[in-house]
Chains A and B, each alone.
Chain A
């Protein structure tokens, strides 16, 4: 029995938590006893429990000491930090095996990790692009970075291969993400308005997560109204994996597409989920996105921020039959189950391995810092 603690900020339904949940589902039957510590429940705790989580802790006060007590009381030898990387020093000093997982790659997050060298066993990233990025931004040697691709539950995210509906209904365009600038919802709203101005019948569908506060939501609804697409848009929040997968299959059946306008994607989980459900993807070619599809063969890629080009590809995907059929055909070689099996073995090996010793404290130069002001 290997005990393993995962620490992350928000427990929501999708994104990183869906990765965490899927790992637990695969590793717990192999004898890995999973513990989770989240700062806040954003609707995801119940879903973790329903998938078999037995030890979920939630609390945003005194986090560091709570983690200390949890590790001590439960005798946990291995910790994966998805956030709160500063804890690595204490955990490593206590002799634990420590992994840092970087799924969110803005420089402000990545660069400080460089200062933690010696306080972790490996940095885990989900893609080759992330590995290069972390190496470049934080100066972490390649040998200290492990690529473990995210994997999805293919019993939930699967295509049902229904014949496409051939009526003259509005074509749905799905966008999934947080209301923040990195996910770049503004471009998605603008692209929908461009398509409407071209006289095309589309239905924008936004599945939002995490941000629900007025400052974000008012901005979003005002933008929908300003660009004249508020009436035809549908808006959902924090859908369960089952509901989202069903929606993706329905939209595939309705001849829709998935639009990603993100500024940065360390993996592009939503894109993989859409592809798995048979929903063609139009995405900004950022981060690891090109690792999942080839432009015009298994999806459509546009340079980040090129909204007119994105609208063109959405139009092509929704209304040019030959192009859509070509891409649908190219989406069939995803090999998701194979990739998942490999990643599970990789993770199991990492969690079962012995911890690397903590790096020795750097030697202080003699007599350093001994002169007080005025002395």
Chain B
């Protein structure tokens, strides 16, 4: 363990050291270090019952002093007091056991004290007092062989001052004078704790602002004791031994202008019953703990005492046909926009299917977000499915929704053998998503997708290009169906509101803005085209709603407003002043083949739609296609200048009524051979 000294050692200084973890056989050392040179070396040797002190001048060891270590002090914890004077140093263990040794070394350059044991340190400047005569006189040993004779015969110039007993306090106390604190920019705190059975202690450390400078570290000293009070010597995971039974971990802290909180696992070794940590922060800048370190515990072991009772969650045979929906979409959550898997799952649930919904993410706020739906974390998906298949539960439907991952591959053949129906739902081009750097692209492997295309009983794609792709990947032609996205039931009140005759008459005065709603993922969203159009149309107001914009500075224009993530209800509210909704996608395989749900939502919001070339939108109602020779600006202007008629309103209402999620659900079930349930939904 090392302690930095930020001021040189001066005559009159007293250093109080408390060494913890002094080994009974291996020497424990304390070194005063200047740069890379050890200037004073103190070696405690309980096995020989001596303390040996050496000091060094100009790289040569000069004197060696020895004292018998009192038997009473042969313990894992030893307190030492060292008093420095101009030419001699007194080392004291108690007021009566002292060693005096001559010191020819200039200690002004000492910057560091290092010990092989865990060390608590404090310093003070002792007031001048008469020199005592040591009760146990120091034994002057012959000088080292290479020392000049003069050094060995140098007389002791003066007796040392006796260190005051009051100086024997640890750094955790506040006795150090401000001018001589161990290190500026460092703070320490001790916490003792009990180890609960089957729990792992976690240390929480809150540190104040570390500025932008690197090099700030949290230093954690750790000791554990057994049930009988014996110090444990096994090294806790992540720590290194710095003495017998004393361990240390240095965790570099990331620069932070607002402070940082770190959690450090204090893995208890075999037999640990109690522990103690000492926390300090060291670094180039003044940093401190903003609150006392706290110890919490996490359960480290789960007992499975009884065989699981008959489960009642999805797929356990309580009545409904199980559907397992494994998807690249997010969980059911208030702040996550719903996608096709959410809408279909809801409708499956309404029809009495028992849906197990497995989102991409592990963050699941609600286990049962809607009737008939149970959310399972992705990390639990594989075990959940294995358990299901081993018990040969009633076979149902397995939906692989744009996520042909390794685990699905490993399950697929057994699912088929056990009579499950497998649907591969292709919502976008997963190869393109991987190429564009989408987070879940790491799971993608073209051979896994090929296998899924051949294994699935049905493949449903949202667009024609994706259908062609699935067939090229080996799916039988008659098993592949195109079923685009749809519009949620709740949106139809906005359809009625925005496409009423009254709304159409009033829209010219109310609707003047251009808007975008949705994720601004860099693989799809063409931020350059939007920025260009906004620059070229300075009098047109652009409002963009959604997360994911990589560099907001690109759209830092006076006529562009960024709203960030909003709910779908907020979108309908905000878009009430928009005339045109844009779908400015980059030209690539992802965007050409997708079917944007926001197109249906734009229509429900009463918007004309200006879009890049998306296969499904070619010829779709109320769309304006922009291309290389007809720029986004040109088509926005054209859309703004196109009047909306009552005939348009009728056409849109008619179109949207054929795109509901209920109909999509019904079609999906029909393709999977569940026609009677589909008929119930349509009825």
Seen from chain A, the residues whose Cβ lies within 8 Å of a Cβ on chain B are: 13, 37, 41-43, 45-47, 49-50, 53-59, 61-69, 73, 87, 90, 208, 212-214, 216-218, 221-222, 224-225, 230-231, 234-240, 243, 364, 367-375
Contacts and interface: CB of A to CB of B under 8 A. Distances in A.
B414 A213 contact: no
Contacts of B185: none
A92 to B, nearest CB: 12
A61 B448 contact: no
Contacts of A231: 454
B12 to A, nearest CB: 27
B305 interface: yes
B587 interface: no
Contacts of B270: 64-65, 67-68, 87, 90
Given A62-B200, A64-B234, A222-B445, A374 B38 contact: yes
A115 to B, nearest CB: 16
B196 to A, nearest CB: 9
Given A221-B448, A367-B47, 13 more contacts: A49-B304, A49-B308, A59-B198, A59-B302, A68-B270, A213-B406, A217-B410, A235-B410, A369-B25, A370-B27, A370-B47, A372-B27, A372-B29
24 contacts: A42-B383, A43-B383, A46-B390, A49-B304, A49-B306, A57-B302, A57-B303, A64-B269, A65-B271, A66-B300, A66-B301, A68-B270, A69-B198, A214-B445, A221-B409, A234-B413, A237-B414, A370-B27, A370-B45, A370-B47, A372-B41, A372-B45, A374-B29, A374-B61
Contact of A214 (B47, B195, B406): B406
A217 B271 contact: no
Nearest to A87: B270
A237 B199 CA distance: 33
Contacts, number: 162
Contact of A243 (B25, B47, B54, B390): B390
Nearest to B272: A65
A225 B451 CA distance: 10
B382 A61 contact: no
A57 B442 contact: no
B200 A61 contact: yes
B557 interface: no
B634 interface: no
A230 B300 contact: no
B267 interface: yes
Contact of B303 (A41, A55, A64, A369): A55
B268 interface: yes
B301 A55 contact: no
Contacts of A66: 197-198, 300-301
Contacts of B620: none
A239 B414 CA distance: 9
Nearest to B47: A370
Contacts of B307: 46, 49-50
B386 interface: yes
B414 A236 contact: yes
A2 B38 CA distance: 59
A371 B25 CA distance: 10
Q: Which 3 A-B pairs have the closest CB atoms?
A: A59-B301, A217-B406, A237-B410
B271 A235 contact: no
A150 to B, nearest CB: 22
B446 to A, nearest CB: 9
B387 interface: yes
A64 B226 CA distance: 13
B442 A214 contact: yes
Contact of A57 (B27, B47, B301, B387): B301
A49 B307 CA distance: 5
A373 B29 contact: yes
A243 B418 CA distance: 11
Contact of B447 (A45, A73, A214, A225): A225
Contacts of B308: 46, 49
A67 B303 CA distance: 12
A236 B389 CA distance: 11
A58 B303 CA distance: 6
Contacts of A62: 198-200, 267-268, 300-301
A61 B406 contact: no
A37 B234 CA distance: 21
Nearest to B416: A234
A46 B190 CA distance: 44
A61 B390 contact: no
A373 B115 CA distance: 12
Contacts of A243: 390
Contacts of B563: none
B302 A58 contact: yes
B316 interface: no
Contacts of B390: 13, 43, 46-47, 240, 243
B472 interface: no
Contact of B27 (A46, A58, A64, A375): A375
Contacts of B272: 65, 68
B528 interface: no
A243 to B, nearest CB: 7
Contacts of B195: 65
B264 interface: no
Among A37, A65, A221, chain B packs the most CB atoms within 10 A around the CB of A65
Given A64-B269, A375-B43, A214 B197 contact: no
A224 B234 CA distance: 47
Nearest to B303: A57
Contacts of A73: 197
B301 A208 contact: no
B407 A212 contact: yes
Contact of A61 (B265, B407, B411): B265
A370 B29 CA distance: 11
A54 B265 CA distance: 30
B95 interface: no
Contacts of A239: 414
A370 B451 contact: no
B376 to A, nearest CB: 15
Contact of B304 (A58, A214, A230, A237): A58
Contacts of A364: 25
Nearest to B38: A374
A290 B617 CA distance: 67
B655 interface: no
A87 B195 CA distance: 19
B501 interface: no
Contacts of A224: 447
Interface in B418-451: 442-443, 445, 447-448, 450-451
Nearest to A67: B270
Contact of B409 (A61, A90, A235, A371): A235
Among B45, B390, B448, chain A packs the most CB atoms within 10 A around the CB of B390
B304 A208 contact: no
A236 B447 contact: no
Interface in B49-105: 52, 54, 61
Contacts of B410: 208, 212, 217, 235-237
Nearest to A90: B270
Contacts of B26: 369-370
Among B47, B445, B447, chain A packs the most CB atoms within 10 A around the CB of B447
B386 A375 contact: no
A231 B447 CA distance: 10
B447 A374 contact: no
A218 B45 CA distance: 59
Among A50, A64, A67, chain B packs the most CB atoms within 10 A around the CB of A64
A222 B405 CA distance: 14
B304 A45 contact: yes
B298 interface: yes
Contacts of A46: 307-308, 387, 390
Contacts of B271: 65, 68, 90
B604 to A, nearest CB: 39
A270 to B, nearest CB: 18
Interface string B623-645: 00000000000000000000000
A56 to B, nearest CB: 4
